[in-house]
Structures are given as C-alpha cells and as structure tokens.
Amino acid sequence: MAQSRGYRVIAEFSIHPIGEGTSLSRYIRRALAELEEAKGLRLQVTPMATVIESEKLSDILSAVERAHESLFRMGARRVDFVLRVDDRRDKERRMEDKVKAVT
C-alpha cells in the first residue's frame, strides 16, 4: 500500500471521552502525547482538532489508534473520535500550503 513519494496526506483528528465530565483537556493532552511520540507526523493543534501531516496514511491510522487506546487506559468508558483525511496525489503540498492557498 505504498504511496507515491513526496505526496503528503493531511488529516484532522478530534477525540473525546463521553461521560467523564465536561472538562476534557487532560484526555486531549494524553492523546496529543501519543501523536507526538509517533514518528513521521507533523502536528498542528487547533481549537477543534489536531491537524496531522504524514507521508503515509498508515502512520496516521496507527497513531490515532494508540491515542484512542490511551484514553481507555486513563479510565474512560466510552471514547468517540472523528478522523477526516484529505489525500491529494496530483500535487505535492504541505499543511501550510493549504492555508496559504485560501488566505
């Protein structure tokens, strides 16, 4: 499942436990720590999600899975996440390019 060299997958990940109170920041910090430990990912935290850039979708999916499991290890009983992926292979671009193109 190799991808063409140079192309980057850009994704967005938002995760939260359900039923562990309204303040989720300690859970989000843990999920972020898991993403940061993953190799080959560039990250940008936004107010609603974390943007992830990678050469390989599989690296994003592995990191997301680890982040997800880490919330259960913290005691969460129910965890929801949304992952949106934008994978463009006709043009090389990085996450900054997407913002520059529209602002």
| 41 near its own copies, rule: CB under 8 A | no
| 67 near its own copies, rule: CB under 8 A | no
Of 51, 45, 61, nearest to 93 (Cα)?
Answer: 51
Angle, helices 57-73 vs 25-37, to 10°: value is 140
Of 49, 68, 37, nearest to 10 (Cα)?
Answer: 49
Cβ-based nearer residue to its own copies, 39 or 91: 91
Contacts (Cβ under 8 Å, ≥6 apart) of 54: 8, 9, 11, 40, 41, 42, 60
| 75 near its own copies, rule: CB under 8 A | no
Name which position in 6, 37, 40, 65 contacts its own copies (CB under 8 A). Answer: 65
Structure token pair of residue 41: 């990912």
Name which position in 10, 35, 41, 67 contacts its own copies (CB under 8 A). Answer: 10
User: Which residues contact its own copies by CB under 8 A?
Assistant: 1, 10-12, 14, 16, 18-25, 28-29, 32, 44-49, 51, 53, 57-58, 61, 64-66, 68-69, 72, 77-91, 95-96, 98-99, 101-103
